[in-house]
């Protein structure tokens, strides 16, 4: 018994050390890589004496971000508003259509090709037509962002609704469960991991769609987003402001992905293998 305990304890201690190292490295390594990239960026600008109107230093970008916050802050809120609204509409439409497809094979055969067409057609090509036919600028921006974010939720949720364990499905049929009972108690819980995976993808795509739509719209004034501020800065050769706006867009994207990943983890950590393994 003593020999067995002494054999297990070092192995357990080594496993705990690896676990702590991975936990620290998960946060430390990206931070170190980012710091190294920023230092190299700053040094390249200094060594080669690159003018700020070609490539500003990280310090100048940060100064511009603080100095122009009165302009960039409201623009970031506008872009974020469009992104979240498009994501919400994509969730409602994508999940609703996926449920319809799971209930009716004829509906899927009729409408799924149109969803594929919307996905494979570049939003840059569709956006000019949207802004011709849709008079309200905000509605046009929302529609463009929705087109980009809609398909991942639809396709992933549809796949999840079809990925039910056949044995459980047969058991529900044996006990006389109707179609709606199977949907609510079996298919929707089984589709949750797939839906959350599509949601993480759609979150970033909705931001991309909002920014692209703002570029195509190209209208300024009150209610303009970060994309217009980038265009405005490029016209004025205000490159530091362009970089500051790009930094804000990147931060918005990271924040959206982090929040959606946290929601996914909290929803799955008690029962799904993808989340349980990360806690082991």
Considering only residues 6 and 228, tell me which one the structure prediction assigns the higher pLDDT: 228
Which pLDDT value is given to residue 276?
65
Q: Report how many domains make up the chain.
A: 2
Closest by Cα among 211, 245, 200 to 87: 200
Which pLDDT value is given to residue 156?
94
Closest by Cα among 105, 102, 122, 191 to 153: 191
Mean pLDDT of 29-56: 91
User: Are 8 and 77 part of one and the same domain?
Assistant: no
Of 31, 49, 67, which closes a domain?
49
For the stretch 11-34, pLDDT in tens is 777 777 777 777 787 788 888 999
User: Are 8 and 139 part of one and the same domain?
Assistant: no
**Percentage of the chain modeled with pLDDT above 90:** 50
For the stretch 133-187, pLDDT in tens is 988 888 888 999 999 999 999 999 999 998 888 888 888 888 888 888 888 888 8
What is the rounded CA–CA span in Å between residue 133 and residue 17?
61
User: Are 121 and 14 part of one and the same domain?
Assistant: no
Which of helix, strand or coil describes residue 179?
A: helix
Closest by Cα among 202, 197, 209, 190 to 127: 209
What is the rounded CA–CA span in Å between residue 86 and residue 132?
20
Which pLDDT value is given to residue 219?
61
User: Are 138 and 35 part of one and the same domain?
Assistant: no
For the stretch 73-120, pLDDT in tens is 999 999 999 999 999 999 999 999 999 998 888 998 999 999 999 888
User: How many angstroms separate the Cα of 205 from the Cα of each of 87, 149, 211, 263?
Assistant: 9, 5, 10, 18
Domain residues for the domain of 22 are 1-49
Residue 1: band (very low, low, confident or very high) from pLDDT cuts 50, 70, 90:
very low
Residue-averaged pLDDT of the chain = 87
Which pLDDT value is given to residue 60?
95
Residue 188: φ, ψ to 5°: -65, -45
User: Are 269 and 188 part of one and the same domain?
Assistant: yes
What is the domain-level CATH number for residue 139?
1.10.3720.10
Q: Is the pLDDT of residue 67 over 60?
A: yes
Which pLDDT value is given to residue 214?
87
User: Are 26 and 87 part of one and the same domain?
Assistant: no
Which pLDDT value is given to residue 38?
92
User: Are 145 and 267 part of one and the same domain?
Assistant: yes
Q: Is the pLDDT of residue 8 over 60?
A: no
Which pLDDT value is given to residue 2?
47
Which pLDDT value is given to residue 14?
74
What is the rounded CA–CA span in Å between residue 44 and residue 42?
6
User: Are 151 and 25 part of one and the same domain?
Assistant: no
Interacting residues of 129 by C-beta distance below 8 A, sequence separation 6+: none
User: Are 30 and 66 part of one and the same domain?
Assistant: no
User: Are 79 and 129 part of one and the same domain?
Assistant: yes
User: Are 147 and 105 part of one and the same domain?
Assistant: yes
Give the up-direction half-sphere exposure of residue 156: CA atoms within 13 A in the CB hemisphere: 18
User: Are 173 and 216 part of one and the same domain?
Assistant: yes
Give the up-direction half-sphere exposure of residue 54: CA atoms within 13 A in the CB hemisphere: 8
For the stretch 181-238, pLDDT in tens is 888 888 898 899 999 999 999 999 999 999 988 888 776 554 688 998 999 999 898 9
């Amino acid at each position: 018994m003593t020999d067995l305990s002494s054999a297990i304890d070092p192995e357990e201690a080594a496993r705990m050390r690896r676990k702590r190292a991975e936990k620290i490295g998960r946060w430390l390594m990206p931070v170190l890589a980012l710091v190294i990239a920023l230092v190299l960026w700053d040094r390249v600008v200094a060594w080669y004496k690159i003018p700020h109107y070609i490539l500003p230093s990280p310090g100048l970008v940060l100064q511009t971000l603080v100095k122009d916050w009165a302009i960039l802050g409201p623009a970031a809120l506008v872009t974020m508003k469009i992104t979240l609204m498009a994501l919400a509409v994509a969730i409602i439409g994508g999940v609703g259509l996926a449920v319809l497809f799971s209930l009716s094979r004829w509906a899927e055969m009729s409408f799924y090709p149109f969803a594929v067409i919307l996905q494979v057609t570049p939003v840059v090509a569709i956006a000019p037509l949207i802004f011709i036919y849709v008079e309200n600028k905000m509605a046009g921006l929302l529609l463009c962002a929705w087109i980009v974010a809609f398909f991942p939720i639809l396709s992933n949720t549809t796949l999840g609704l079809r990925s039910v364990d056949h044995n459980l499905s047969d058991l529900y049929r044996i006990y006389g469960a109707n179609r709606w009972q199977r949907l609510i108690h079996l298919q929707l819980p089984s589709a949750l991991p797939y839906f959350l995976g599509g949601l993480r993808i759609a979150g970033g795509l909705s931001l991309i769609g909002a920014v692209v739509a703002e570029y195509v719209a190209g209208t300024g004034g009150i209610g303009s987003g970060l994309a217009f501020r980038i265009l405005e800065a490029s016209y004025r050769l205000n490159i530091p402001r362009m970089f500051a706006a790009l930094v804000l867009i990147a931060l918005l994207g990271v924040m959206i992905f982090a929040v959606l990943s946290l929601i996914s983890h909290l929803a799955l950590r008690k029962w799904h293998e993808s989340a349980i393994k990360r806690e082991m």
